[in-house]
Structure 1
Amino acid sequence: MKEIMQVKNISKEYGKKGVKTRVLNNVSLEIYEGDFIAIMGPSGAGKSTLLNLLSTIDKPTHGSILMEGVDITKIKNDKLSNIRKKHIGFIFQDYNLLDNMTLMDNIALPLSINGKNPKQIVEKVKQLADLFGIKEHLEKYPYQLSGGQKQRGAAARALISDPDIVFADEPTGALDSKSSKELLMSLKKINEQKNATILMVTHDAFSASYAKQVYLLKDGEISCKLNAGDSRKEFYDRILQLMASLGGE
């Protein structure tokens, strides 16, 4: 099994000397190809900070993050942007689709920028759009789409370049329950059928129950890890129980 990322004892502190706040404390985990990981925890547990560190948006105070044996915490910004472009996909809460482009062009954008063959681009967009259930909306503009359709389009765009890992930051946060379920089912399908590697930060136990593993953060540390069983409903119940025991949101 290919290792995508190895996180070794990372800590993150904010503030000046003498008045420092430690948000993460010696967090370690390994991410393998085909993983679908949800990071959960109470407010202030360090979920967003961990996502920012792993996705190269921020750098840890201590520790290392290895991708293909290279410590990405030691790489300079110009090379980091290249790593983001080639190896990392992002799904944000607020879609970030361009209003003056069709959904087709929005999804195709990462490949178009890299000068890929137009016919191959169209074929790949249609294939992904089919998996996300938005094929019939490809000629529409974002203002003509529902929130759920826009978010599935954003997810397809994040995956169009076949990144090594996709980071999803509260991807269902702005969606209603039906749209959330459609997005999560699509992410689960893409994980199972395309072996896509996904790390999702969420406060929502329902969303987390679609993942294969759930890491619970508390006070900046990994409190425990849950592995999914055969039943998503049973996994959801276990997550709820654990969050309750941690005094979750």
Structure 2
Amino acid sequence: MKKIVEIRNLVKSFGKKEYETRVLKGINLDIQEGDFIAIMGPSGAGKSTLLNMLSTLDKPTRGQIFLDGEDVTKADNKRLSVIRRDKIGFIFQEYNLLDNMSLEDNIALPLSLNGVKSKEVRERVKNMAKLFGLEEHLAKHPYQLSGGQKQRGASARALITEPEIIFADEPTGALDSKSSRDLLMSLKAANDSGRATILMVTHDAYTASYAKQVYMLADGQIQCRVYNKGSRKEFYEEILDLLASMGGDRE
């Protein structure tokens, strides 16, 4: 199995000397091709800090992050721009779609910017739209779409470049329950089909239950992890029990 991301002794501190706050205290983690990992933990545990460093938006205080074998902590800004373009897909809580463009053009945008031929662009947009249940909405503009449709569109755009890994930051945070379920089923389908390796940060056990593995982050370290053994409902209950055992609210 191909190793997509390797994290070695990752430390992130803020402030200086006696005022220093260490948010991450030596994280070690491997992400294999085909993984769907959810990172959970209490507020302030460092989930978003970890995601920002993995996605090259921030640098660690110490430690290394290898993406597809390359140490991205040593890459300059020009190289990081190429890495983000070619190897990373982002899904944020905010949809970041352009209102003056159709959904089809929004999804196609990364390919268009990379100079991909129009025929290939149309074919890949069609495939992504089918995967995310958006075939009937491609001609619409974002203001004509529901929140769930926008987020699925943003996800399709993230996947269309066939990146090495997708980073998702609370992707269901602004969605209602049906829209959340639709998005998560689409992401799971993309993962199951081999189209996406996903690392997702979430506070929500239901959202995490669609992943294959859940890592619990607390006090700056990964405290434990649980694996989905086949039944999503049983995995959901296991996650809830784990949260309760760590002092969180089971409900």
**Alpha-carbon offset, residue 96 of structure 1:** 0.2
Aligned to 1:72: 72
Q: Which blocks of at least 5 consecutive residues in structure 1 are unaligned?
A: none
Contact 1:39/1:214, CA 8 A, preserved across alignment: yes
Aligned-pair Cα RMSD in Å: 0.8
Q: TM-score, structure 2 length as denominator?
A: 0.98
Q: Which blocks of at least 5 consecutive residues in structure 2 are unaligned?
A: none
**Alpha-carbon offset, residue 136 of structure 1:** 0.5
**Alpha-carbon offset, residue 211 of structure 1:** 0.2
Aligned to 1:170: 170
Measured in 1, the distance between the counterparts of 2:172 and 2:210 equals 12
Instruction: Give 3-state SS (helix, strand or coil) of 1:86's partner.
Output: helix
| Alignment length (residue pairs) | 249
Aligned to 2:187: 187
Contact 2:10/2:64, CA 8 A, preserved across alignment: yes
Letter in 2 for 1:69: G
**Alpha-carbon offset, residue 69 of structure 1:** 2.4
Instruction: Give 3-state SS (helix, strand or coil) of 1:18's partner.
Output: helix
Contact 2:35/2:198, CA 8 A, preserved across alignment: yes
Letter in 1 for 2:28: S
Letter in 2 for 1:48: S
Matched, 1:40 2:40: yes
Matched, 1:232 2:249: no
Within a 5 Å distance, the mapping from 1:96-111 to structure 2 comes to 96-111=96-111
Contact 1:33/1:195, CA 8 A, preserved across alignment: no
**Alpha-carbon offset, residue 247 of structure 1:** 2.0
**Alpha-carbon offset, residue 77 of structure 1:** 1.0
Per-residue deviation, residues 10-37 of structure 1 (Å, max 9, x unmatched): 0100002221000001000000111000
**Alpha-carbon offset, residue 195 of structure 1:** 3.8
Per-residue deviation, residues 185-212 of structure 1 (Å, max 9, x unmatched): 0000000013410000000000000000
Letter in 1 for 2:176: D
Within a 5 Å distance, the mapping from 1:73-152 to structure 2 comes to 73-152=73-152
Aligned to 1:215: 215
Per-residue deviation, residues 35-66 of structure 1 (Å, max 9, x unmatched): 00000001111100010010000011111001
Measured in 2, the distance between the counterparts of 1:207 and 1:148 equals 14
Contact 2:13/2:61, CA 8 A, preserved across alignment: yes
Aligned to 1:8: 8
Contact 2:213/2:228, CA 8 A, preserved across alignment: yes
Letter in 1 for 2:23: V
Instruction: Give 3-state SS (helix, strand or coil) of 2:238's partner.
Output: helix
Structure 1's consecutive aligned runs of 4 or more residues displaced over 6 angstroms after TM superposition are none
Q: TM-score, structure 1 length as denominator?
A: 0.99
Measured in 2, the distance between the counterparts of 1:17 and 1:76 equals 27
Per-residue deviation, residues 93-144 of structure 1 (Å, max 9, x unmatched): 0100000000000000000001101011011001110010011000000000
